[in-house]
Each structure stands twice: as structure tokens, then as C-alpha cells.
Structure 1
């Protein structure tokens, strides 16, 4: 069995590859946009559909998005208290709250959950990640109320999220035991296999060491909340209610993921502090490679 360090080194090496490709002008930062579209609209939905449509779905999985939402709310409260104590502006406060609330349970959580717990771990991670769409809508609506904007556009972005439709269609095929044939199944399998390396290379392309100079103390606070407080709270909460098994382990692992890239999308769309957001995402993504190694060691 692979050690926790070996497990985390696999995605880390692919992230380093993406960063190296950028440094040597083989790929550019802008290429990450195209790769992200390919992942979100093609390869990730394929991977989700193939695995979920044939999975044995347990009742425990259905609770995972609710647990994830609770953790996001706890992180928002902690971020608000921190910003209130520091007397931050409205823009900076919302930037930090969003960074604390939004977990990278898909782009980073999927490959790591799969690497640690195999396909079963990936299936649990899919359900946990359903919270991402919910929290995106909630935060989007709140930001529209505070800073102005178009509520319809927030809903449109959420409804057009292809991985969500992959989950819906996969559940339909699963419940009714529908078949989709050799050709389609194998085509989706091949496409799905490209997901993990593309995700990691994309993360590498987005790394920018220059951003770490901006607001280091705020970045470290968000890292502390996202990478340490969140999984500890999840562990205590699920332990208190007697929730166990693989669902427990995946929930704790996913709760320890860094800030989601979608947080930067919200930051840009609503005129928040994008430099601060970039700095926070970069800092806790890098630090997360170390905390996740420790978390994996604890869980396996």
C-alpha cells in the first residue's frame, strides 16, 4: 500500500509539471482557461457519469453535501469574526469569507479522494462536492444583494454546470438500471481518464509565486481555517453523531481541501479584492499539500 507521502506526491508532481510547462513557455496561464473548460464540460462529466451510473449508492452518501454546507457556514462565521476584529472593509470582509467558505472539493478533492480511497472514495467525493453548487448560488445571491448584480446570471451559471447534470443523469441511469452500450461506455471511460492529469496540470499553470506577497497574514488565517479548523470541526461533528465508515473519512478529507478556484470567479464578478483572493488561494493550495499528507496519514 502506498504511503500518504507517495499518495500526495502523485498529484504534486503533475502540478509541478503544469508549472514547469508555464515556466518554459510550452503552455501559458491563459491555456488554463481552455483546459478548465475541457475538464468541466467533457472529461469530468464523463468520469462522474461512468462511475456513478453503475455505483452502489449508500444512504450515508446523501448526507455528505449537508455536512459540507455546515462546514462552509462555520468557516464563514469564523471569517466574519476575524474581519470584524480587524475592522476590515466590506469588500475585504466578503473576500475573506468567500475564501474560507468555498472548498476545492472537486478539482483537488476528486483526485486526492480517488488516490486515497479508490473509486469508492471518488463516489463519496461526488456527493460531497454537490455542496459546491449550492454554496456558489447562496454566495452569489448574497453578493448580488450587497454589491449589486444579476440574480438570473448566478442561477444560469449554476444550472449550466455540466458536472451537476452528469450527476443527475447518472442517478437516473443508476436508479432505473439503464444501459448505454459498449461504444458510449468505453468512449466515456477514455475521456474520464484524462480528468485527473488535466486538473493537476491546470492547477500548476495557475500557480503564481508573486501573489504570496499580498496580505500574508490574511492568507495564513484562511489557510488555518480551510486546512486545519474545517477538517477538525468535521471530525468532531461526525464523531459526535456517530457517523462512520468511508463516508466519515471522505468527509473529513474533503473538508481539509484548499480554497476553490470558483472563489476567484466570484471575486472578479463582484469587484472584490482579486489580488488578495489570488494570494489566499495560492497560499492554502501550496500549504494544503503538507496538511493533506498529515490528514491522509491520520485517516488511513
Structure 2
């Protein structure tokens, strides 16, 4: 789910600063899961389990996470100069992902869309996910109402551009993944509006 670039600002505008902090925390956890399991499943699609596990350990975010945990647990402070470099590289990430997604979308032809698969992806991402999140947060967890709303809305976000990068990298149907990302983002204009009115 695109709980970062797309989801966090929507949650900020809909629910305020406190909700935004919760959304960012959720986004970080979701990105960690995506960088491990997303890479694993994308790589496993063509090359098998051994290559998939190797691919996870070839990804820079794996080592960034390990390094961050070590620094955090050992209370080591990072110099301002290093943080400035990390911030510059981080700021370049989103535009770079958007360029790659745009290049992939430029190659798509509407007549080649696999509408059955796209519809399944849209139903799962935009409808089933928030319903599951609602059921879990209402029946299985005693959550603060604000946190519950953040999780439900974040779960209803469209497919993230990161999935397109993984699909391209590991050659696992990038055209289909790109088309689901495109259509789910367009559909979200209506679906997120409706959902925000429901949870409000």
C-alpha cells in the first residue's frame, strides 16, 4: 500500500498532526516488511527460494535497518554532516521512483490491460483491505479511535510505486503491476473520499 507519499499527507489533512505521527510510524513498519517480504516474494516468483533469500540480503535497506537498530540500541549519535547526506539521498528517492514509474506507464497500452487481474487487485487493495482492517481493529483490538482510523485509512491506499520497482527488478509481470498501481491510484480519488466520510 502507498501509505507514505500518498497516505501520510491524506491522514495529516484528514485527522491532524497526531494522526500523521501514527501514520509515519505505520509507514516505517510497512516499509520494513515490504523490503523483506516484498523483495523475497518478487524474487521468488522466477528464481526460487535460495535466490529470493539472497536478494533480500543484497538490498541496501536491509543493511540500513540493521545499522539503524545497532546505532539506536547503543545510543550512538550520528553526525550532522552524515545526516545531511542521508537527507539529500532520501529526498532524491521519491522523484526517482516517480520517474521510473512514469517510464513504465509510458509503455502501457490500454488495450493490453489485463482487466480481470487488475479488477482483482483493485478489489483486494481498495475494498477488502480496509474491511479486514476494520474487522481486526474493531473486534480483535482495543485501540484508540484515532489509531484505528489511521490504520483503516492507511490500509485502503492504492498500490505503491515500490511494487513496480520490484516487479521490474525481478521481472515479475511489471506491466500488470504498473497497471494495477495506475488504476488503483485513480480509483482511490473516489474510494478514499468515501472512506474518509465513513470513518469521520
Q: Shared topology, TM-score over 0.5?
A: yes
SS of residue paired to 1:110:
coil
- Deviation per CA, 1:50-108: give whole Å up to 9, x if none: xxxxxxxxxxxxxxxxxxxxxxxxxxxxxxxxxxxxxxxxxxxxxxxxxxxxxxx3xx3
Give the equivalent residue in structure 1 for 2:171: 268
Structure 1 residue runs without a partner (length 5+): 1-104
- Deviation per CA, 1:233-277: give whole Å up to 9, x if none: 1121122122346654443333223343256348735xxx66544
SS of residue paired to 1:109:
coil
- Deviation per CA, 1:129-174: give whole Å up to 9, x if none: 2222225425654x46xxxx34322112111222232222222222
Structure 2 residue runs without a partner (length 5+): 13-19
Q: Aligned pair in 2 of structure 1 residues 278, 189: CA closer, same or farther (>3 Å)?
A: closer
SS of residue paired to 2:6:
helix
Cα distance in 2 for partners of 1:266, 1:206 equals: 12
Contact 2:42–2:166 at 8 Å: present in 1 too?
A: no
Which segments of structure 1 move beyond 6 Å, counting only runs of 4 or more? Answer: none
Q: Aligned pair in 2 of structure 1 residues 203, 166: CA closer, same or farther (>3 Å)?
A: same
- Deviation per CA, 1:110-143: give whole Å up to 9, x if none: 21243234455223211122222225425654x4
User: Normalising by structure 1, what TM-score?
Assistant: 0.51
Contact 2:4–2:27 at 8 Å: present in 1 too?
A: yes
RMSD: 3.2
Match of 1:158 among 40, 53, 56: 56
User: Normalising by structure 2, what TM-score?
Assistant: 0.71
Matched length: 186
Give the equivalent residue in structure 2 for 1:130: 32
